[in-house]
A = this chain, B = another copy of it.
Amino acid sequence: VDPASVRARFAALVRDLQGEWCAALERLDGEGTFVRDAWAREGGGGGVTRVLEDGALLEKAGVNVSDVEGPVPAELAPALPGKADRFTATGISLVLHPRSPMIPTTHANFRFLTHGDTAWFGGGADLTPWYLFDDDAAAFHRALRAACERHDPGFYPRMKAACDAYFFLPHRREGRGVGGIFFDHFGGDDTARALAFVEDVARAFLPAWIAIAERRRREPFGARERAWQEQRRSRYVEFNLLHDRGTAFGLRSGGRVESIFMSMPPRVRFSYDRGTAPESREARLLDVLRAPREWA
């Protein structure tokens, strides 16, 4: 299949998904609304960033779509498979930072890249709880596994392991969260078939998270839990700025800065060397982040 035709179909999909996701999130929130910023990229293409801040349930939510193209920036060339002068990148990314520490933060990203004749998908979805409800992690993973298994029984185990390996802070020896799925350089010779898989996973992801948010939105919390959430969000910042390839790629390829940093948590504390009380819920979360589990 011609990469340009897959790109066009995927670009239409991500535009649809952006509208559907924002509408579903506004319904869930009940108060907040997404603002909309359309932007053009110097060098080619552009995107639409939608952000909701200070909602009732969502403290900050961002859904960004972009479809960019242009000459390959010199410092990016070594990172791209294939040899060519031009690249295209089409994708959607979502990050949800709920106000309640009892509702997990979540992130999803799906993208299609072309570099000359080489074309591939990348992406995934993952969950970052601040207080761990095992049922929530299991339900999230089961939903992703079910979407994967409609395409290939080998996908979920491989992409689940890749997610644990990717969202890992080596200097903390901790996972960012309880994982999900992650894939890159995906699609091989059949990017049209890969597109069907990506669409399936993308459509399975948000309902799974919304079910968790509905289940936990009335869970009580106080200042202690909120402080823990804000402190733990600093790990999210560390990961995104020190390790995330998407952030680095975006900044180096001349991406729109405010759209890239849309993923950052709204309010964060960097306190010195906070420990956890033995046997506490906080300590249990850390134990799990240090030893990834099979959830599905």
Binding site for B on A (CB under 8 A): 37, 51, 53, 60, 62, 171-172, 230, 234, 237-238, 241-242, 251, 257-258, 261-262, 264-273
Are A62 and B272 in touch, CB under 8 angstroms?
A: yes
CB distance from A137 to the nearest CB of B (A): 26
Q: Give A49 to B265 CA distance when docked, in angstroms.
A: 28
Given A241-B238, A241-B241, A257-B172, does the pair A265, B271 have CB atoms closer than 8 Å? Answer: no
Q: Count this chain's copies in the assembly.
A: 2
Known A-B contacts: A53-B271, A60-B270, A267-B267. Give 17 more (CB < 8 A): A37-B273, A62-B272, A171-B251, A171-B257, A238-B241, A238-B261, A241-B241, A241-B242, A258-B272, A258-B273, A261-B272, A264-B270, A265-B270, A266-B270, A267-B268, A267-B269, A268-B268
Contacts of A51 in B (CB 8 A): 272-273
Contacts of A237 in B (CB 8 A): 237, 241, 268, 270
Are A270 and B268 in touch, CB under 8 angstroms?
A: yes
Contacts of A234 in B (CB 8 A): 264
19 cross-chain CB contacts under 8 A: A51-B272, A60-B272, A171-B251, A171-B257, A230-B267, A234-B264, A237-B237, A237-B268, A237-B270, A238-B261, A241-B241, A261-B270, A261-B272, A262-B272, A264-B270, A265-B270, A266-B270, A268-B268, A268-B269
Most buried by B among A51, A234, A262, A270: A270
CB distance from A210 to the nearest CB of B (A): 22
Q: Give A268 to B62 CA distance when docked, in angstroms.
A: 18
Contacts of A251 in B (CB 8 A): 171, 242
Contacts of A257 in B (CB 8 A): 171-172
**A267 (CB) vs chain B CBs: closest residue:** B269
CB distance from A289 to the nearest CB of B (A): 15
Q: Give A265 to B257 CA distance when docked, in angstroms.
A: 21
Q: Give A230 to B267 CA distance when docked, in angstroms.
A: 9
CB distance from A16 to the nearest CB of B (A): 23
CB distance from A253 to the nearest CB of B (A): 11
Q: Give A242 to B265 CA distance when docked, in angstroms.
A: 17
Q: Give A273 to B238 CA distance when docked, in angstroms.
A: 20
Q: Give A200 to B16 CA distance when docked, in angstroms.
A: 63
Are B171 and A272 in touch, CB under 8 angstroms?
A: no
Are B266 and A266 in touch, CB under 8 angstroms?
A: no
Most buried by B among A37, A60, A258, A264: A264
Contacts of A271 in B (CB 8 A): 53, 60, 266
